[in-house]
Amino acid sequence: MERKGLERSAKATRRRAQLMHARRRRRAGFTLVEMLVVLAIIGLIVGLVGPRVLNYLSESKVKTAQIQMENIGSALDLFYIDAGRYPTTEEGLGALVQRPASVSSWSGPYLKSTGVPRDPWGHAYLYRAPGRDGPYDVGSNGPEGREGSASAISRSGLGK
């Protein structure tokens, strides 16, 4: 009789353990609906925040280009003080880091970097002397990299 009672309690214990294991297994994962809700929320956040972040990044690149062009303009003014003229279009901005053969009173390099910096989009800055509104123009073709594009940025020398 004792044996039957032990068998029944053992069976009941096993059955309880199986039920608890089944409940745990059902609760262990996420349902498809829960996953879709989470993905929808993430999509909304990315859709609302993403464009603003990209806009800030774009604006910061434009500001970086403007600051670099101001620095190049200052270096061109130092070149003018030493040489009595601005570099020609042919000499280009390279005259700020390496002495042109036609200049004897060069005290450069006038830029801290070892070479002429590139714009934030990886393109070379444009230089023209004489410029449209001053002794020189310094510019960037912007993110598109095409001359005359709507995103182009320029700076004219103020003249001496």
SS3 content of the chain, % helix, strand, coil (to 5): 50, 10, 40
Residue range(s) defining the domain that contains residue 93 = 35-156
Residue 160 has pLDDT above 50, yes or no: no
Taking residues 45-58, report their average pLDDT. 80
Q: Does residue 8 lie in a domain region? A: no
Q: Does residue 26 lie in a domain region? A: no
Distances (CA, A) of 75 to 38, 41, 78, 108, 128: 54, 51, 5, 9, 15
Assign residue 74 the CATH number of its domain: 3.30.700.10
Which range (11-20, 61-70, 104-113) has the least confidence?
Answer: 11-20
Predicted confidence band of residue 61 (pLDDT cuts 50, 70, 90): confident
Predicted confidence band of residue 4 (pLDDT cuts 50, 70, 90): low
Q: Does residue 4 lie in a domain region? A: no
pTM over 0.85, yes/no: no
Q: Does residue 107 lie in a domain region? A: yes
Q: Does residue 2 lie in a domain region? A: no
Q: Which amino acid is at 36?
A: L
Q: Greater confidence, 126 or 22?
A: 126
Q: Does residue 146 lie in a domain region? A: yes
Cis omega (within 30 of 0) on the bond before 117? no
Please tell me the predicted confidence (pLDDT) of residue 115: 83
Q: Does residue 6 lie in a domain region? A: no
- Structurally, the chain folds into a number of domains equal to 1
Closest CA to 153 of 143, 141, 137, 145: 141
CA atoms of 108 and 81, how far apart (whole Å): 11
Taking residues 100-125, report their average pLDDT. 86
Q: Does residue 19 lie in a domain region? A: no
Taking residues 28-57, report their average pLDDT. 85
Residue 36 has pLDDT above 90, yes or no: yes
